[in-house]
Structure 1
Amino acid sequence: MVTNPNIKETVSLIKELVSIPSPSGNTDNVIEFCEQYLHGFELEMKRNRKGGLLISIPGKNIDQHRMLTAHVDTLGAMVKEIKSNGRLKLDMIGGFRWNAVEGEYCEIETETGKRYTGTILMKQTSVHVYKDAGKAKRNEDNIEVRIDERTINEKETRKLGINVGDFVSFDPRVQITESGFIKSRHLDDKASTAILLRLIKHIKEDGVELPYTTHFLISNNEEIGYGGNSNIPPETIEYLAVDMGALGEGQSSDEFTVSICAKDSSGPYHYGLRKQLVNLAKQNNIDYKVDIYPYYGSDASAAIRSGHDIVHGLVGPGIESSHALERTHESSLLNTEKLLLAYVQSGITTI
C-alpha cells in the first residue's frame, strides 16, 4: 500500500535546490548538494564522467533492473562578448526565449569563482530615451547584462575578472504560498529531483523492499539534450524519466495532478509502461492526467536515441509557464511522489 510522503519536506528541498545556481555545464555545486543530502545512507553512489550522480539500490531481482532519472541542470547563459559600454552580451544555454528573462536579476561567475550580480535588460529599456523601447526585438543583439559594479567600458569589466565563457545564472525568485503553490524558475527539473531524492530517502528510512535493482540518475546535461543517454546498465529493462508536465492551451495536464506522457517530439513513449503507470494511479487513488508535449524531449528519449534497448516512460508534476516563471502546486508533487513509490514496488512491464 502506498503511503503519503511528507510533502512539506519536498517543498523545502525544492527551495534549497532552485537556490543553487546550476546552468548546464556548471553543476558541480548542486550535485555535491545531492550527495550530501543522501550522505549517511547505505547507498552505492558515484559520479559519472559527465558529472551526473548515479545511485543504486539492490532489489530482490538482480538480473532485471530499473532506472529513474531527473535533472538538476537548468537554463542559463554564457558571456558571449564584453561590449564597449562595459555590459555583457549573452549566449543562451538551453531553449528559452529572451523575453522570458528580460528584467531578471542574474549572477555572473568568473573562472576564479568570484560572483557578480547584474540585471538582464534590453539596451533600449528607457522609454525616455528610446522611441522603440516596446517594439525592439528581444534577441541576443538587443539584450545585455548591466553589471552591479562601477564599469563603463570593456577594460573596466575585464579588470573585474569577467571574461568570455563565464557562466550566467538567473535569479530563481522562489516563493511558497499559503495556498500550496511553489513558484520559481528552474522547477524544471529541480522539483522532480527533489521528489527522487525524497523517494530514495523514504526507501532507505522505511526499509522499502524493491522487487528489482533500481538505479537513480541525477543527470546534469538534459537541457542541452544528452543528460540521460549513457551509464545505463545492460540489465536495465525500464527507464523512467521524471520531468515536468508542460501546461498550456490544448494540454490536459494541470498543476494539481501527476502528468503521464504519451508522446513528445521524439514520438510515443512505450505503450505498455504508460498503461502500467495509469493502472497504478487508478489502483492507488492517485490523481493523474495523460498528455502529449509537442515541443519536448526528455532524458528517456535521449536514451532511446542513443540506441539503448529499453522500455521508456515519462512522468512528472505539472509545471505552469515552463522555461519562464514557473509554478506548481504541492498536490501535483504529492501525486507524483505517490505514483513513483507505487511504481518502484510494482512488477516489470509485460512487453
Structure 2
Amino acid sequence: MINLNQQEYITILEKLLSINSPSGNTGKIIDFIEGFLHDLQIDTKRNNKGGIIAIFKGESNTKQRMITAHVDTLGAMVKEIKNNGRLRLDLIGGFTYNSIEGENCLIETTNGKTYTGTILLHQASVHVYKDASKTERNQANMEVRIDEKVTNAEEVRNLGISVGDFVSFYPRVKVTPSGFIKSRHLDDKASVAILLLLLKQLKQDKATLPYTTNFLISNNEEIGYGGNSNIPSETIEYLAVDMGPMGDGQSTDEYTVSICVKDASGPYHYELRKKLVQLAAEHDIPYQLDIYPYYGSDASAAIRAGHDIRHGLIGPGIDSSHAYERTHFSSVKSTGLLIYYYLMSSM
C-alpha cells in the first residue's frame, strides 16, 4: 500500500513549484521529471508536444491503463511593450486579471535572460487616481512594472524583452503546521507530485500491476489538448488526476479525494466512476462526488479527440482554483490511496 510521507511529498512538490512551467514553456520541468524517473530506472518516452510518458509494465499488456496529471500552469506572454516602459500581457489559461494583481513575476526572454517585475493596475496609486478601486482589471488596464531602470519602450527592448516572451507568477509556497499547503499552481503540480512518489514506491517495492500502465505527465492541459494523444490502442481506462475545485454548491473539500461525475464536457464514464467510489468505500478512503461546471481535463480532451476509452477524473480538493490556491495534506493522501488501489484493481 502507498504510504505518502508528508515531508517527502512537500519536498518534491516545492521542487516542482520552483520550476516555472506556463503552458508552452515546460521544457525545464519535463527535464527534471525525466531525470527523476530515470534515477528510478523507469522507462520513459517523450511525445512530440513535449510531454513525458512513464511506462510501468504489468501482467497484461493486451489491456492497458493510462493515468495523467499535467505539469503546465497558468501564465502569460508579453503582448505589448508600452511607451511608459511597462508591459501589457496576454493570459495563458483561464483565469482573471484580478487574481494576479500585485503578484511578482518573472519575464523570460528568448535569449534566456530573466527579469523580475510586478503585475499591477496602471491606475494603482490611490493618491493619483480617484477611481482606482472601481477600475476594471483587464488587459487594457493591467501592466507589468519591470524591476529595471526603464522609462520607455526602447529601453525595454534594449534589455532583450520582446513580444511573445513568457511571464511566470511566483508560486509563494507556504506549508502550515496544521497541514495546509498554499501556493499558486497546485493545479496540477499537487497531483504530479503524487504520481511521482507513487511511481517511486511501486518501483522500490517491485510491485506488479495487473495491467501495463502509462503515466502521462502532460504539458498542455491548461490550453485544452495536453492528454489527447499518444494513447496506446490497448488502453481501456484513462484516469486524469487533477484538482477538485471548491466553491458555493460544490461538495469537494480540502480533506478528501474528489471524484468528478461531470464537468463542462459532460458525464464521466459511469462504470469507472462507480468503481472508484467502490474502491474508496472498501478501503475507508474519504471522498466526495462532485460536478465541476466550468472545467475540462486531459481525460475529456482524449474523449473529444475520438479515443475509445473509459474516462475518469479524481484529485485533491483545491480552494481558490486558478488563484492563490490551498489544499490539505489529508486530501493529497486520500488521492494517493485511491490511485494505488485503482492501479491494483481489475477492469
Could you say which TM-score interval applies, normalised by the shorter chain? over 0.9
Offset from partner CA, 1:79-136 (integer Å, 9 cap, x none): 0000000100000000000000000000000001100000000000000000110001
| 2:166 match | 167
Change (3 A) 1:14 1:3: closer
Instruction: State how far apart, in whole Å, the 2-side matches of 1:186 and 1:89 are.
Output: 22
Mapping of residues 311-326 of structure 1, within 5 Å: 311-326=310-325
| 1:39 match | 38
Instruction: State how far apart, in whole Å, the 1-side matches of 2:295 and 2:192 are.
Output: 18
| 1:67 match | 66
CA contact (8 A) 2:2 2:201 kept: no
SS of residue in 1 equivalent to 2:209: coil
Instruction: State how far apart, in whole Å, the 2-side matches of 1:42 and 1:108 are.
Output: 35
| 1:273 match | 272
Offset from partner CA, 1:181-219 (integer Å, 9 cap, x none): 110000000000001111111110111110000000000
Mapping of residues 135-146 of structure 1, within 5 Å: 135-146=134-145
Instruction: State how far apart, in whole Å, the 2-side matches of 1:172 and 1:4 are.
Output: 27
CA contact (8 A) 1:253 1:259 kept: yes
Instruction: State how far apart, in whole Å, the 1-side matches of 2:2 and 2:61 are.
Output: 25
AA matched with 1:115: T
What TM-score do the two structures reach when normalised by structure 1?
0.98
Sequence identity (%)? 65
Change (3 A) 1:343 1:322: same
Gaps of 5+ in 2: none
What TM-score do the two structures reach when normalised by structure 2?
0.99
Mapping of residues 102-141 of structure 1, within 5 Å: 102-141=101-140
Instruction: State how far apart, in whole Å, the 2-side matches of 1:173 and 1:215 are.
Output: 32
AA matched with 1:164: V
How far apart are 1:3 and its partner, in Å? 4.1
CA contact (8 A) 2:246 2:321 kept: yes
Instruction: State how far apart, in whole Å, the 2-side matches of 1:6 and 1:75 are.
Output: 28
SS of residue in 2 equivalent to 1:39: helix
Instruction: State how far apart, in whole Å, the 1-side matches of 2:279 and 2:56 are.
Output: 22
| 1:25 match | 24
Instruction: State how far apart, in whole Å, the 2-side matches of 1:290 and 1:196 are.
Output: 21
Instruction: State how far apart, in whole Å, the 1-side matches of 2:138 and 2:41 are.
Output: 49
Instruction: State how far apart, in whole Å, the 1-side matches of 2:37 and 2:178 are.
Output: 30
Instruction: State how far apart, in whole Å, the 1-side matches of 2:65 and 2:94 are.
Output: 29
CA contact (8 A) 2:37 2:54 kept: no
CA contact (8 A) 1:7 1:333 kept: no
Instruction: State how far apart, in whole Å, the 1-side matches of 2:6 and 2:64 are.
Output: 28
| 1:48 match | 47
AA matched with 2:341: A
| 1:294 match | 293
How far apart are 1:9 and its partner, in Å? 1.2
| 2:256 match | 257
Gaps of 5+ in 1: none
| 1:227 match | 226
| 2:81 match | 82
CA contact (8 A) 2:37 2:44 kept: no
SS of residue in 1 equivalent to 2:73: coil
Offset from partner CA, 1:316-343 (integer Å, 9 cap, x none): 0000000000000000000001110101
| 2:194 match | 195
Instruction: State how far apart, in whole Å, the 2-side matches of 1:7 and 1:37 are.
Output: 19
Following TM superposition, the consecutive aligned residue runs of length 4 or more in structure 1 with deviations greater than 6 angstroms are none
Aligned residues: 347
> Is 1:205 aligned with 2:189?
no
CA contact (8 A) 2:2 2:336 kept: no
